[in-house]
């Protein structure tokens, strides 16, 4: 379990740091919520024996959510 935290905790810190740096007005609310939820899930995955695979799945799902929310915003803008 301790070895899993060597991977998951830095990934969670990175996600939170990027979300904090990219926060601004007019940003869809789903983006900070999804990044925060992904960071929490990545840290929670530390207790699993397959934490690396769960982390990869969570990050893949996060990328999909960000792409869909960004495209919806671009399509709504014109």
Q: The whole model's pTM is what? A: 0.85
Write out pLDDT tens, residues 30-62: 888 999 999 999 999 999 999 999 999 999 999
Split into its structural domains, the chain has a count of 1
Res. 72: pLDDT tops 70: no
Structural domain boundaries, residue 71: 2-77
The pLDDT, as a whole number, for residue 78 is 59
- How far is residue 36 CA from its own chain's centroid? 6
For 46, the token pair is 């530390």
* Residue-level pLDDT at 65: 92
Asked whether the CA dihedral 75, 65, 62, 28 is positive or negative, the reply is: positive
Distance in angstroms (rounded) separating the CA atoms of residues 53 and 75: 33
């Amino acid at each position: 379990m301790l070895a899993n935290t060597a991977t998951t905790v830095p990934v969670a810190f990175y996600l939170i740091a990027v979300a904090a740096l990219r926060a601004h007005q007019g940003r869809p609310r789903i983006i900070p919520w999804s990044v925060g939820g992904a960071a929490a899930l990545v840290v929670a995955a530390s207790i699993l024996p397959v934490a690396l695979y769960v982390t990869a799945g969570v990050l893949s799902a996060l990328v999909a959510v960000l792409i869909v929310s960004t495209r919806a915003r671009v399509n709504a803008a014109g």
